[in-house]
């Protein structure tokens, strides 16, 4: 009888020990999980330069507080742009989708540069970042190439490939569609260096082209820009944010000369 009971007691003891260890592991795991949940995410530092960026020659294009460093193209009367909650915001219009509205340009001009910016677009929206813009024509797009920003999936009109997000508008379609769903923030990088142009969208290189080559001249002469003799001819110009009647937000806009 005693021989039969000893294994039972031993098994019971092992079971209790096992349960005790499991409970301890579970508590440890729960406490780790709870600890992670209780750690608050660090707030995003917007519109600021790190020490490394400053040392590398970067400067802010937008300070997060006002439109210092920006003005409306050709001094037009425009009231759609403002600093809003740390973003450079365009209110857009429900009815006016003209490309002759109050585009916003930098007061400074740039020749060889790298530019980065985050942007978020409203549904069915259309906008863009133009560069090498001059003020001798009626609208910025008549001189400056455009990094296209648009609602690729829900824009109310049919889009050609060269009209989609990240494209060099009407010149080079994006190599792939890399925009995030509408309502999410996107990250853009533009490099212009001695005529070599790169468009990046969310870490993907979507355009890699060279200005002023025979191929570039042919594309200009046979496409949308054939009637715009001044398009893409400037070697230096303003950065421009397009007001095409759509609501859009920009932040973390930075530039460095190359």
pLDDT of residue 10 exceeding 50: no
Identify the pLDDT of residue 176.
97
For 222, the token pair is: 């046979």
Same domain, 22 and 128: no
| Chain centroid to CA 113 | 17
Same domain, 158 and 108: yes
135 CB-near residues (< 8 Å, 6+ apart): 73, 74, 105, 238
Same domain, 89 and 136: yes
* pLDDT one-digit tens code per residue, 86-115: 999 999 777 665 555 689 999 999 999 999
User: Please, are residues 64 and 251 in contact by the beta-carbon 8 Å criterion?
Assistant: yes
Same domain, 250 and 133: yes
Same domain, 156 and 84: yes
In-domain check, residue 34: yes
CATH number for 127: 2.60.120.560
User: What string of DSSP letters covers 99-142?
Assistant: SSS--EEESS-BSSEEEEEEEEE-TT-EEEEEEEE-SSSSSGGG
**pLDDT tier, 76 (very low <50, low <70, confident <90, very high otherwise):** confident
User: Please, are residues 209 and 216 in contact by the beta-carbon 8 Å criterion?
Assistant: yes
In-domain check, residue 194: yes
Identify the pLDDT of residue 44.
77
Same domain, 14 and 112: no
Same domain, 103 and 31: no
pLDDT of residue 145 exceeding 60: yes
In-domain check, residue 114: yes
CA distance 240 to 186: 18
Q: What domain range includes position 120?
A: 51-257
Identify the pLDDT of residue 96.
62
Per the structure, the count of domains in the chain is 2
In-domain check, residue 58: yes
* pLDDT one-digit tens code per residue, 158-213: 999 999 999 999 999 999 999 999 999 999 999 999 999 999 999 999 999 999 99
* pLDDT one-digit tens code per residue, 232-255: 999 999 999 999 889 999 999 999
Same domain, 110 and 175: yes
In-domain check, residue 46: no
In-domain check, residue 148: yes
pTM (2 decimals)? 0.82
Q: Which SS3 state, helix, strand or coil, does residue 126 take?
A: strand
Identify the pLDDT of residue 93.
76
Same domain, 26 and 135: no
In-domain check, residue 44: no
Location of structure tokens 């309502």? 183
Long-range pairs, 83-86, Cβ under 8 A, ≥24: 84/249, 86/46, 86/47, 86/251
Same domain, 18 and 60: no
* pLDDT one-digit tens code per residue, 16-46: 444 444 444 444 444 344 455 555 666 778 9
The conformation of residue 109, written as its DSSP 8-state character, comes to: -
In-domain check, residue 45: no
Least confident of 20-29, 67-76, 149-158: 20-29
Span 123-152, mean pLDDT?
97
CA atoms within 13 A of residue 102's CA, in its CB half-sphere: 17
Same domain, 55 and 124: yes
Identify the pLDDT of residue 79.
86
Location of structure tokens 């992670």? 36
Span 63-71, mean pLDDT?
97
For 90, the token pair is: 């365009």
Same domain, 24 and 69: no
């Amino acid at each position: 009888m005693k021989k039969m009971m000893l294994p039972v007691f031993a098994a019971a003891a092992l079971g209790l020990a096992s349960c005790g260890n499991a409970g301890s592991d579970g508590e440890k795991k729960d406490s780790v999980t709870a600890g992670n949940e209780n750690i608050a995410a660090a707030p995003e530092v917007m519109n600021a330069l790190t020490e490394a960026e400053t040392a590398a020659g970067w400067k802010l294009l937008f300070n997060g507080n006002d439109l210092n460093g920006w003005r409306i193209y050709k001094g037009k009367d425009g009231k759609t742009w403002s600093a809003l909650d740390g973003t450079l915001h365009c209110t857009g219009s429900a009815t006016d989708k003209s490309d002759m509205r109050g585009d916003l340009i930098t007061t400074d001009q740039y020749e060889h540069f790298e530019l980065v910016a985050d942007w978020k677009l409203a549904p069915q929206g259309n906008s863009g970042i133009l560069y090498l813009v001059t003020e001798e024509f009626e609208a910025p797009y008549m001189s400056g190439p455009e990094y296209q920003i648009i609602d690729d999936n829900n824009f109310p009109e049919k889009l050609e490939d060269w009209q989609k997000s990240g494209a060099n508008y009407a010149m080079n379609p994006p190599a792939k569609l890399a925009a995030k769903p509408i309502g999410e923030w996107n990250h853009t990088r533009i490099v212009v260096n001695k005529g070599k142009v790169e468009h990046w969208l969310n870490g993907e290189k979507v355009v890699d082209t060279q200005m002023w080559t025979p191929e570039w001249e042919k594309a200009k002469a046979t496409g949308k820009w054939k009637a715009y003799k001044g398009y893409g001819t400037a070697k230096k110009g303003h950065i421009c944010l397009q007001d095409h009647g759509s609501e859009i937000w920009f932040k973390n806009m930075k530039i460095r000369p190359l």
